[in-house]
Chain A
């Protein structure tokens, strides 16, 4: 049987209320950011890494040929490749993180003592910043410094930085709203209805999420203790070897091996960072969804299905990202599938939320 809409919730979850705006907008941002990340991983990431290796080898060949201008030219192209990759990673991360913050603010609305109109304006501003920030970051690579009055900062960066400042401004304002709540004022959106009792879905999401976050913390601590400095030393030493080998044309094949080592090292670092950040993000997402779950208008069986898909995807992606170095593209494909499972679960939840809000609104319009 589907969850029933609770009339008392109408006040806090009214049409165009700050809470509804932030919840829908936040989940759409998270799903959009994840989908973008999945597309980036499949169509850009590996191809970009391959081109970086080719560029490094071309630079080694320029060194072997004692041709400084060719080396310079290779690196101007390599800088573009790194910027292309970096801005896409940043756009993915900032879009999903802005989504998390939006859902978080939706949960906090009853603790934020503002009138409806102010709360709604702040919510709209936050969502605008959450969209413009990743769009600005994404455009940095394509716009460059065209028509910019600054030497290294282009208009896309200005857009991204302004959107970031907008998010900070809204967060400070929301913090002020919490401060007012703590000093006795109450939110216009009514009392907090986050219950202290929990059903199966909430318990599984909350405990599964906490466990994933904890696993991510432990993995991050292990990587920084064991690998961080070792990898940094390895990178410098591999680059040194490339330069030494390339300096004598007879050793160019040895330089080729070192370029491959450089690529493997970059891959090892990338998968460690990706596994660490994704397992924590997905754990956090599960914890957030534990609070949103009562608003999802799906039958208990379907709720359990999407929770299973969400948690399975949350574990599959980081696990198979880590296995990518051993199993190659097969593991990469499975990891991408894990990401897609999380996106599908999120979209299913968004559908459930839409059905819930529809069930709330219908009696009002009928009356």
Chain B
């Protein structure tokens, strides 16, 4: 097994463990409370509207929007880390068939590993920082994943 394959297989297992640990932490300590808060704020928006208290209703609706924004991203991180990790391990097993020199293969593997870690990280950071850095991280990570996957697909297509 060469260095690029090792990087993908070991990096993939580490990323899968990270994604699962995050998912477990989220399920135990965050998810139920978040769902409760989301349902509670939407209910409050309608209850306050029925009480003809439009200011409280608008506030509750805004709270619902914020909670849902965070919830979607927190769930996405778990699934994307684990999903990308599995793809990395499979590609690691077959990486010897990618028809490029080992140096190119290593950079493709490194780009895929970096992108797979950074893209979901950028997504989850959007829940704590509404600035540009999390967006930049997510876009750069997704770009790295797509570019490296395209390169790998090309390398595999060259194999006969």
Contact = CB atoms under 8 A, between A and B. Distances in A.
A16 B153 CA distance: 35
B50 A67 contact: yes
A214 B152 CA distance: 10
B47 A72 contact: yes
B42 A196 contact: no
Contact of B96 (A79, A196, A210): A196
A59 interface: yes
Interface residues of B, number: 61
A125 to B, nearest CB: 14
Contacts of A235: 65, 68
Contacts of B68: 232, 235
B50 A68 contact: yes
A82 B39 contact: yes
Interface string B44-81: 01111111101001100110110011001000000100
B42 A171 contact: no
A62 B27 contact: no
A239 B93 contact: no
A157 interface: yes
Contact of A240 (B20, B58, B90, B146): B58
Contact of A210 (B33, B46, B156): B156
A246 interface: yes
Interface SS majority for chain A? helix
B46 A214 contact: no
Interface of B: 1, 6, 9-10, 13-14, 16-17, 20-21, 23-24, 27-28, 32-33, 35-36, 39, 42-43, 45-52, 54, 57-58, 61-62, 64-65, 68-69, 72, 79, 82-83, 86-87, 89-91, 93-94, 96-97, 142, 145-146, 149-150, 152-153, 156-157, 159
Nearest to A62: B50
Interface stretch (A3-11, A97-105, A296-304): A97-105
Contact of B93 (A82, A93, A174, A291): A291
Interface in A191-234: 194, 196, 198, 203, 206-207, 210-211, 213-214, 217-218, 220-221, 224, 232
Contact of A232 (B27, B58, B69): B69
A236 interface: yes
Contacts of A214: 146, 149-150, 153
Given A161-B24, A214-B150, 7 more contacts: A71-B46, A75-B42, A101-B16, A153-B28, A175-B13, A210-B152, A240-B61
A178 B10 contact: yes
Q: Which bracket fits the contact residues of A? A: 35 or more
B52 A108 contact: no
Given A75-B39, A111-B1, A207 B24 contact: no
Contacts of A108: 9, 89, 93
A108 B149 CA distance: 21
Contacts of B33: 152
Contacts of B17: 168, 171-172, 175
A79 B39 contact: yes
B90 A288 contact: yes
B123 to A, nearest CB: 9
User: Which of B24, B39, B50 has most chain A Cβ within 10 Å?
Assistant: B50
Interface string A183-197: 000000000001010
A158 to B, nearest CB: 9
A174 B149 contact: no
B49 A207 contact: no
User: Which of B79, B87, B150 has most chain A Cβ within 10 Å?
Assistant: B87
A122 interface: no
Nearest to A79: B39
Contacts of A259: none
B49 A63 contact: yes
Interface in A43-87: 59-60, 62-63, 65-68, 70-72, 74-76, 78-79, 82-83
Given A75-B42, A82-B39, A206 B27 contact: no
5 contacts: A101-B86, A104-B90, A157-B32, A210-B156, A284-B87
